[in-house]
């Protein structure tokens, strides 16, 4: 059991998690920080000057009573200032008798306390007072007999609890403070204490995670009120939940074990993490009431390289419906972030020209955190003259270009694949006109996505009629496509056959077993910018 109370500045909203970045708001980091704060004193303030007013302080007495009605020293209490002269205060007073006093400046405070008995199996009581107005000497009684159970569990009788998080956030006069309790498998009881706060000023989250024989569960609920919760009962049936299927592919043919995680996109949480052997599928039932969800797959680490993470963030779910995300499968190729406000694939800022395109995104467009490749090169030509060559990260490079208006060709190439998938090579070459800019300006770059239905080993049946969806992303998706041609090769790119694009799909006959399929797109957008994209040995047949 861990409990902490953490002051933080008010926010204007919540940011869904993103792979590898600060937006990923798992509560583990904040809990670690909170634990440090709870065990240290705040930095000393500078001495008051004669002109400054010393705020008046009052004595806060806190009595702790267990479930039998007796005084108890088995507690951990935090008092956190929200507003007024005591807004910066935080205290964790303790006395083994069960009655403790602390002197604090006038103001609004958040108080939370956990009480634990001698028997851990009896569980923990978490009592929260979101409104403690300290305007004079005050006595508060934290009484475990006022609590009611948190009984949140799936209908699956074989499911076992993994962990859970209760988190409360209180806002007053533009400042927000929080408190939390983390549970493993012990029972939890909760209660509100004190007067109601202002309407809508108290937000509370309760998430619990469960492991079943073939299905896991992520059950989360949110509440906005003027009070903390006293008890919580939720027993969702299977039809009340949404199904999230996470498929981990192994196109290189090497079975290994990675980790899958599922968590709500918004608000504090711990998240469900479980091992998953690739190729394989994990099934998690989640509560639609908790909003949007994030899923991540972290593949096994290669020697001297970090684990490769793929993330699907902020997807909607619906009760009774199934959402499937496949990570790490072919066809690997360039993919752009199409969410509103996403960073451009390429920019010109003054004379600096930068490319930022995940060149080896997986078949669903998930960009890897540490792409596996054997070599990557990016070149920039201006009016046919080579300006520079960069080696390293696939699809990412920076150049300095002359200021005058000119025609550019930007080409990025990466080689990837091991085992049966060896020999994969992705090349994207863009042409456009550019000149010095007065600030960051997006480059008119496009990509083409090929998304055939493949098994988790990156293969498709031989000899069948294949239909491959074709999707245009980037500049051409906005300005329009002047022309788009697609060609297919079944001899490692030696010869190519053009196939018509009909209703966003190309069709062709798959080659014999054990052969590879290569794909090429040639695109011109409405403004005359072009793309030639080749994905050699994109996938194979079986």
| Residue ranges, the chain, pLDDT below 70 | 1-53, 302
CA separation, residue 455 to residues 253, 259, 326, 397, 541 (Å): 12, 20, 10, 33, 10
Residue 368: name the closest of 319, 330, 420 by CA.
Answer: 330
> Which pLDDT value is given to residue 42?
34
Residue 91 to residue 113: CA distance in whole angstroms = 12
Q: Which residues contact 137 (CB under 8 A, 6 or more apart)?
A: 58, 59, 60, 61
Number of other residues whose CB lies within 10 A of the CB of residue 483: 9
* Helix (H), strand (E) at residue 475: helix 475-479
CA atoms within 13 A on the CB side of 197: 29
Rounded Cα–Cα distance for residues 357 and 337 (Å): 9
Write out the two tokens for 263: 């968590």
Prediction pTM value: 0.85
Q: Are 474 and 481 in contact (CB under 8 A)?
A: no
CA distance 2 to 19: 27
Q: Give the pLDDT score at 157.
A: 94
The Cα angle at residue 7 between residues 3 and 11, in degrees rounded to 5: 120
Which residue, 400, 234, 290, is CA-closest to 14? 290
- Give me the pLDDT at residue 50, please: 40
For the stretch 48-70, pLDDT in tens is 444 456 789 999 999 999 999 99
**Tens digit of each residue's pLDDT (9 = 90 or more) over 21-40:** 334 344 443 443 343 333 33
Phi-psi region of 480 (alpha: psi -120 to 50; beta: other; left: phi over 0): left
The domains of the chain, with CATH numbers, are 2-11+24-41+56-234 (2.60.40.1120), 239-327 (2.60.40.10), 346-541 (no CATH)
pLDDT of residue 203: 98
How high does pLDDT run on average in the chain? Answer: 90
């Amino acid at each position: 059991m861990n409990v902490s109370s953490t002051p933080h500045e008010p926010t204007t909203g919540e940011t869904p998690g993103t792979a590898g970045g600060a937006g990923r708001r798992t509560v583990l980091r904040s809990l670690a920080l909170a634990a440090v704060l709870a065990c240290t004193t705040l930095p000393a303030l500078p001495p008051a000057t004669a002109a400054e007013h010393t705020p008046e302080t009052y004595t806060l007495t806190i009595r702790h009573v267990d479930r039998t009605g007796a005084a108890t020293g088995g507690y951990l209490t935090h008092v956190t200032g929200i507003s007024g002269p005591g807004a910066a205060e935080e205290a964790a007073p303790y006395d083994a008798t069960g009655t403790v006093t602390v002197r604090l400046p006038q103001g609004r405070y958040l108080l939370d306390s956990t009480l634990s008995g001698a028997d851990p199996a009896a569980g923990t009581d978490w009592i929260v007072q979101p409104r403690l107005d300290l305007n004079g000497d005050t006595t508060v009684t934290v009484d475990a007999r006022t609590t009611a159970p948190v009984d949140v569990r799936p209908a699956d009788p074989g499911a076992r609890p993994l962990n859970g998080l209760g988190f409360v956030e209180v806002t007053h006069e533009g400042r927000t403070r929080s408190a939390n309790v983390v549970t493993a498998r012990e029972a939890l009881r909760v209660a509100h204490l004190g007067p109601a706060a202002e309407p809508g000023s108290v937000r509370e989250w309760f998430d619990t995670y469960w492991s079943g024989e073939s299905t896991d569960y992520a059950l989360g609920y949110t509440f906005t009120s003027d009070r903390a919760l006293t008890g919580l009962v939720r027993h969702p049936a299977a039809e009340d939940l949404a199904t999230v299927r996470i498929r981990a592919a192994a196109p290189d043919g090497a079975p290994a074990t990675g980790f899958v995680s599922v968590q709500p996109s918004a608000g504090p949480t711990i998240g469900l993490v479980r091992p998953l052997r690739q190729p394989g599928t994990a099934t998690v039932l989640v509560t639609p009431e908790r909003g949007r969800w994030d899923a991540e797959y972290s593949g096994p680490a290669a020697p001297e390289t970090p684990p490769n993470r793929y993330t699907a963030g902020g997807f909607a779910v619906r009760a009774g419906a199934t959402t499937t995300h496949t990570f790490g499968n072919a066809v690997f190729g360039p993919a752009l972030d199409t969410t509103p406000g996403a960073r451009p694939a390429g920019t010109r800022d003054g004379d600096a020209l930068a490319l930022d395109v995940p060149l080896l995104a997986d078949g669903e467009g998930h960009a890897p955190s540490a792409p596996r490749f054997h070599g990557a090169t990016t070149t920039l030509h201006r009016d046919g003259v080579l300006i520079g060559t960069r080696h390293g990260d696939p699809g990412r490079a920076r150049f300095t270009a002359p200021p005058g208006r000119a025609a550019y060709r930007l080409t990025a190439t990466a080689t990837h694949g091991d085992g049966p998938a060896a020999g994969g090579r992705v090349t994207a070459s863009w042409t456009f006109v550019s000149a010095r800019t007065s600030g960051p300006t997006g480059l008119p770059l496009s990509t083409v996505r090929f998304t055939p239905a493949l098994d988790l080993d990156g293969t498709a049946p031989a000899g069948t009629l294949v239909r491959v969806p074709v999707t245009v992303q980037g500049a051409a998706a906005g300005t329009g496509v002047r022309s788009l041609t697609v060609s297919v090769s079944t001899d490692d790119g030696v010869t190519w056959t053009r196939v018509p694009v009909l209703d966003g799909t190309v069709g062709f006959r798959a080659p014999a077993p054990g052969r590879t399929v290569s794909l090429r797109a040639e695109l011109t957008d409405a403004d005359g910018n072009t793309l030639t994209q080749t994905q050699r040995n994109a996938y194979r047949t079986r």
